[in-house]
């Protein structure tokens, strides 16, 4: 499909508004839906302050999906005052969940820097991906990972934008879910995940988890944080043949 997916064709006597067709980056985020039934989150905002979570939060707009997720992963569906289509929230008790990935294309990644709702830098780490007139040109990002992270922290450079599409292994027909993250730790191992998925013919059974990392620096400072992890296990067809693995 060419062109942005959210423009409506002319139908009957109604002409759809097309103000974003000439400037798609100006379109506010979250104003159109995709083909997912819910989202997984490894963090939340409390009074405007980001907070990492040790267990999955799931949001959806479908009460039946919410009930199914709560049954599988724990927690209670709660309707929030969010203006998002995914206004039902489940704070689950699950750190890990078995999922089904369609293949390497189920994990998409790029680098983005936003100014509000406007995307001002979009690249793959080496070359621009947009706008079209700059696509393929050197993006100017630092070569070293440490410098990339420093530029991102200073809001002078892009950070990872990783999207994972999956189904729940224990309720495959419930529909597609999405997990979106800017985790540098996950970005550092995406090539390993891609290679593992490429070695599997067809859909793959994987584990999507939140992992606690704890260590002490050389200067004696204790550090702890949560990171999302994806562990590719086996082909989905093999998993179905061996139900004990689910």
Identify whether 137 is part of a domain.
Answer: yes
- Supply the DSSP string of 142-178, one letter for each residue: -SSHHHHHHHHHTTSS-EEEEEEEEEETTBGGG--EE
Question: How far is it, in rounded angstroms, from Cα 185 to Cα 197?
Answer: 19
Q: Do 206 and 101 touch, CB atoms closer than 8 A?
A: yes
170-221 pLDDT, tens per residue? 999 999 999 999 999 999 999 999 999 999 999 999 999 999 999 998 999 9
pLDDT digits (tens, 9 = 90+) for 121-151: 999 999 999 999 999 999 999 999 999 999 9
Distance in angstroms (rounded) separating the CA atoms of residues 137 and 130: 10
Residue 147 lies in a domain: yes
Residue 20 has pLDDT above 60, yes or no: no
- Show the tokens assigned to 175: 């529909």
The verdict on residue 130 lying in a domain is yes
- DSSP H or E run through 23: none
| Position 9 pLDDT exceeds 50 | no
Is 153 part of any domain? yes
Q: What percent of the chain has pLDDT over 90?
A: 77
Number of domains in the chain: 1
Which pLDDT belongs to residue 1?
37
Among 82, 88, 93, residue whose Cα is nearest residue 64 = 88
- Tell me the pLDDT band of 243, cut-offs 50, 70 and 90: confident
In a domain, 215, yes or no: no
pLDDT, position 19: 43
Q: Per the domain annotation, does 191 fall within a domain? A: no
Is the model's pTM score more than 0.85? no
Q: What angle do CA 204, 230, 181 make, to 5 degrees?
A: 120
The residue segments making up the domain with residue 128 are: 107-160
Identify whether 74 is part of a domain: no
Q: Is the pLDDT reported for residue 24 higher than 70?
A: no
Q: Which long-range contacts (CB under 8 A, 24 or more apart) does 169-174 make?
A: 169/97, 169/98, 169/99, 169/100, 169/205, 169/239, 169/246, 170/72, 170/98, 170/246, 171/68, 171/72, 172/100, 174/37, 174/65, 174/68, 174/69
- What pLDDT, on the 0 to 100 scale, is given for residue 49? 85
Residue 113 located in a structural domain: yes
């Amino acid at each position: 499909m060419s062109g942005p997916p959210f423009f409506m064709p002319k139908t009957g006597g109604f002409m759809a508004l097309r103000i974003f067709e000439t400037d798609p980056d100006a379109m506010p985020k979250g104003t159109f839906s995709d083909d997912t039934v819910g989202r997984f989150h490894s963090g939340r905002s409390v009074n405007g302050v980001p907070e990492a979570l040790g267990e999955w939060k799931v949001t959806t707009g479908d009460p039946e999906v919410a009930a199914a997720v709560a049954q599988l992963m724990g927690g209670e569906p709660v309707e929030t005052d969010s203006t998002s289509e995914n206004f039902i929230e489940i704070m689950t008790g699950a750190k890990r969940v078995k999922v089904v990935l369609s293949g390497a294309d189920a994990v998409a990644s790029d680098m983005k820097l936003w100014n509000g709702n406007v995307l001002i830098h979009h690249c793959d780490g080496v070359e621009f991906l947009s706008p079209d007139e700059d696509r393929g040109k050197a993006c100017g990002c630092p070569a070293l990972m440490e410098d990339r992270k420093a530029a991102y922290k200073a809001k002078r450079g892009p950070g990872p934008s990783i999207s994972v599409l999956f189904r729940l292994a224990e309720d495959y027909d419930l529909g597609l879910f999405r997990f979106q993250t800017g985790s540098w730790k996950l970005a550092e191992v995406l090539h390993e995940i891609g290679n593992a998925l490429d070695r599997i013919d067809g859909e793959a059974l994987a584990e999507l988890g939140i992992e606690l990392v704890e260590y002490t620096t050389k200067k004696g400072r204790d550090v702890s944080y949560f990171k999302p992890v994806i562990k590719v296990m086996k082909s989905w067809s093999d998993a179905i043949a061996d139900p004990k693995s689910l």
